[in-house]
Amino acid sequence: MPPLEEKQELIYDWNKLEAPPKPPRLLLDDETLRDGLQSPSVKDPSIADKIQLLHYMDELGIDTADIGLPGAGPRAAADVEALAREIANCKMRIHANCAARTVIGDITPVIEISQKTGVAIEAFCFLGSSPIRLYTENWTIDVLLKHTEESVTYAAKAGIPVSYVTEDTTRSDPETLAKLYKTAVDCGARGIVLADTCGHATPDGTTALVKYIRNVVGPDVRMDWHGHRDRGMDMANSFAAWQAGADQIHGAAIGLGERVGNTPMDLLLVNLRLLGWIDRDLTQLKDYCSLASRATGVPIPENYPVMGKDAFRTATGVHAAAVIKAYKKNDEWLANNVYSGVPAYYFGLKQKVEIGPMSGKSNVLFWLSERGIQATEERVNRIFSAAKQSNRLLTDQEIETLAQ
């Protein structure tokens, strides 16, 4: 078996010809427990499930997590406090933040929970900034500046870290954004968040916005990108934001979030690993996604990348034959790459060969061999004939019955 560096030569990688440099900061903020729960289809997970999700985030090396909006009411505040205590008691590496409107009543619970638990919870104070929002709300720029100054100053004086978020940043004019961000930074904000609240941005628009705001706030203020996927641009925008100078990208498990959701945190991790920008154990990624799905009641689509049921399944004769030949070479790397752009074993998964109307006899032979069942001619023909007459893949139970 050739060494890995020689096997890599079996794949000509066009991605490396003009590969972007690795950004100096690759921070991730997980929004599953706050913005993710704004999806109209979710149920609010139990606190036990929220705590387990927080542990998965920590184990996956995610840097920060939005653990809720305690100003929303007593239940929300109780959950935020329980999550903060878990971080403290288990000495987690992950840092906590909470969402808050730019009003004192939302920021006060964050301060109180931070003081009770001893966890430095960062307040993410958000305020709409686009012309369409101002027109709808009958706001003026003076009103926005007043709310910004009062809220950020209040949080900073209380001794908690604070970041400032403009909602609908990607449809806001540069003059308004410059005034708001400068005011927030002057009042003590250590980070700012550019939010593609309506999923409006394209990668080029993202690049232009991030570069403009970086010039406004300077190099020392942490800049976050918070993207939605209404146009399906979420992943491309996230990487464009990093390349343009953003420090931290927000995402949520399996893309949970308002309307069609946020940038999927799991796919951010997958692509960071495949780019070689991170090198960490991601075998628990499937458990993180499965729990997020079960706890919120939102199913993972069968064709969802990497974590979907179909991601590493094949029954097509030509494809399956190549995977089978790779397995016969006793080469897991080869089996994971010959007909897949994602090595399944990086993420605790494996390739699966199945049997259906587009399969060849090699599929049947491999299926039987995997289960230690003798591949007699009669048995193989019986299964193969049934597969060719079917309009779908045969289930394992159906194949077992035919094999008997």
Q: In this structure, what CATH number is given to the domain that contains residue 155?
A: 3.20.20.70
Domain identity same for 291 and 325: no
Looking at the structure, do residues 288 and 343 belong to the same domain, yes or no? no
Please tell me whether residues 66 and 194 are part of one structural domain. Answer: yes
DSSP SS3 for 126: strand
Tell whether 308 is covered by a domain.
no
Is 45 in the same domain as 146? Answer: yes
Residues 291 and 279: beta-carbon distance below 8 Å: no
Query: How far is 292 from 188, CA to CA, in rounded Å?
Result: 35
317 and 193 in a common domain: no
Domain span holding position 291: 23-296
Residue 198 in any domain: the answer is yes
Half-sphere exposure of 3 (CA within 13 A, CB side): 1
Domain boundary among 267, 296, 325: 296
> What pLDDT is recorded for position 33?
98
230 in any annotated domain: yes
214 and 77 in a single domain? The answer is yes
Question: Is there a domain that residue 18 lies in?
Answer: no
Q: How far is CA 185 from CA 152, 192, 193, 224, 227, in A?
A: 9, 8, 12, 14, 22
Cα separation, 65 vs 253, in Å, equals 12
Based on the fold, state whether residues 48 and 172 are members of the same structural domain. Answer: yes
Nearest-angstrom CA–CA distance, 229 and 197: 9
pLDDT at 188: 97
- Report how many domains make up the chain: 2
H helices within 187-277, ranges in order? 203-217, 234-244, 265-275
Q: Which of 296, 323, 342 is the last residue of a domain?
A: 296
Nearest to 62 by CA among 28, 98, 88: 28
User: Which of 296, 322, 354 is where one domain is finished?
Assistant: 296
Q: Are 234 and 266 in contact (CB under 8 A)?
A: no
Residues 114, 189: one domain?
Answer: yes
Distances (CA, A) of 139 to 76, 102, 136, 346: 28, 14, 8, 50
- Could you tell me if 243 and 383 lie in one domain? no
Residue 17: Cβ within 10 Å count: 7
CA angle 162, 103, 213 (to 5 degrees): 45
User: In tens digits, what is the pLDDT along the chain, a chain of 404 residues?
Assistant: 456 656 778 889 888 888 888 999 999 999 999 999 999 999 999 999 999 999 999 999 999 999 999 999 999 999 999 999 999 999 999 999 999 999 999 999 999 999 999 999 999 999 999 999 999 999 999 999 999 999 999 999 999 999 999 999 999 999 999 999 999 999 999 999 999 999 999 999 999 999 999 999 999 999 999 999 999 999 999 999 999 999 999 999 999 999 999 999 999 999 999 999 999 999 999 999 999 999 999 999 999 999 999 999 888 878 888 888 888 888 888 888 888 899 999 999 988 888 889 988 888 888 888 888 888 999 999 999 998 999 998 898 999 999 88
Which of 113, 208, 223 shows the shortest CA–CA distance to 170?
Answer: 208
Q: 370 and 289 in one domain?
A: no
291 and 364 share one domain = no
Domain assignment of residue 352, yes or no: yes
Residue 2 included in any domain: no
| Cα atoms in the 13 Å half-sphere on the side-chain side of 56 | 25
CA separation for the pair 272, 154 (Å, rounded):
37
pTM of the full predicted structure? 0.93
Q: Tell me, yes or no, whether 12 lies in a domain.
A: no
Domain match, 141 and 237 both: yes
DSSP state of 173: -
For residue 188, being part of any structural domain is answered with yes
